Chain A
């Protein structure tokens, strides 16, 4: 797929080759990415709901490449409250900027925005639906820490997903994209938060081996990556049950004993209590680097949609 002037809306729009190409571009950005190669370009950063981490990451990526930013971050206090249509807002902004980054509480908003504009639109999260740049940075983190495992002829990458697998959008998108590659998946969750069947069907279709387990101790020594997610209190009608479940899926330093060489813990952040602070100092902790990987990934995507691929 040629990405110049294309929008980045959903991970489901990308083939395996597209994904590999984007990750290679991100790798190049780590080496060349502080040159002003997007000088003169304007990014409209439209955050209809607040998401400080994502917004700062996009804005840093654009500024590092020499571009400038317009936009808003306060969501409800803007024109949406006055009933202005998303279509009209996007139409107007399209006259000012070269690329649009949109975060919106409603699902499908980014797709609608991309249809309202001839500019490339990058989805920075639409409700509980998609957040493709998060997925790309997760994939990038996995491939960067385990490059040899991406190759088809090696043993598969073993990855465990833990926490809220039922509602966790980052998990759903990541496992869908990873299912193109040579890997084996382990799903660790409380019975009330298991992975939806529709995702297991995708894995079956793509011949991915997977296991569902309840206890983290059963898998932590069998995997290369543990992808932990936050369990939200709102998912549990009974606060006592929430407290118990939360504790079951909390990583402590002693859990890391005898884990595989190169074992990494990833997390989309923010974390609450899933990973105790003691782990931060260990080799296994990768979540802060993972967040930092958002910069080369977003640089690569901004450059790709504005100018095409970066050569070596």
Chain B
């Protein structure tokens, strides 16, 4: 782990307890914020920070929140390289590499307007093919999508 934590990131405004999402492609930084943070959360956002591994990267710090595996894996659809740092007492106590999930329930709307999930009270369900590049398929209408087409419910 040579390029694990870029130190300055934590020194500038650290958080005592919460989660730091590191190694986000800069363009998707705000998307990650949208995916993970609630209205009341205290969030620190860094975009275009220097990174040895990625050149430029985004960093998001969300105070007082620890996420479930399903929640963090959702961001792998946009930031497959992201690392999740769980912070307690100002220190990294756990480091998690995100994984592309096999399926997702709820969260996103199906982009197909003719899909039954957009007309009836149904929880959306997507399956993710693990091939590279991966693609997302709606369990109901069977259409394939890329992450950028997905909108949060």
Contacts and interface: CB of A to CB of B under 8 A. Distances in A.
Contacts of B1: none
A127 B139 contact: no
B121 A85 contact: yes
B9 interface: no
A109 B110 CA distance: 14
A107 B140 contact: yes
Contacts of A126: 116, 141
Given A106-B115, A107-B112, A107-B115, A129 B142 contact: yes
Interface string B131-149: 0000000111111100000
Nearest to B112: A107
B114 A106 contact: yes
Contacts of B140: 107-108, 111-112
Contacts of B121: 85, 87
- Looking at B117, B121, B138, B141, the one whose CB has the most chain A CB atoms below 10 A away is B141
Nearest to B139: A111
Contacts of A78: none
Interface residues of A, number: 19
B144 A129 contact: no
Contact of A86 (B114, B120, B142): B120
A127 B116 CA distance: 10
- Looking at B116, B117, B121, the one whose CB has the most chain A CB atoms below 10 A away is B116
- Looking at A104, A111, A126, A198, the one whose CB has the most chain B CB atoms below 10 A away is A111
Nearest to A201: B131
B122 interface: yes
A87 B120 CA distance: 9
Given A112-B140, A127-B141, A129-B142, A107 B120 contact: no
Interface in A174-229: 198
B7 interface: no
Interface string A10-34: 1010000000000000000000000
A130 interface: yes
A106 B116 CA distance: 5
Contacts of A105: 114
B119 interface: yes
Contacts of A127: 114, 141
A108 B144 contact: no
A109 B142 contact: no
Contacts of A130: 142
Contacts of B138: 108
A123 to B, nearest CB: 11
A128 interface: yes
Contact of B116 (A10, A107, A128, A198): A107
Contacts of B116: 86, 104, 106-109, 111-112, 126
B39 to A, nearest CB: 31
Interface string A85-124: 1110000000000000000111111011000000000000
A106 B119 contact: yes
Nearest to B110: A108
A105 B122 CA distance: 17
Interface string B103-135: 000000000101111011110000000000000
Nearest to A205: B131
B116 to A, nearest CB: 4
Nearest to B117: A108
Interface in A122-176: 126-130
Nearest to B140: A108
A12 B138 CA distance: 13
Nearest to A130: B142
Given A106-B115, A107-B141, 18 more contacts: A12-B142, A86-B116, A86-B120, A87-B120, A87-B121, A105-B114, A106-B116, A107-B112, A107-B114, A108-B139, A108-B140, A108-B141, A111-B116, A111-B140, A126-B116, A127-B114, A128-B114, A129-B143
7 contacts: A106-B115, A107-B115, A107-B143, A108-B141, A112-B116, A128-B114, A198-B144
Interface of B: 112, 114-117, 119-122, 138-144
Interface of A: 10, 12, 85-87, 104-109, 111-112, 126-130, 198
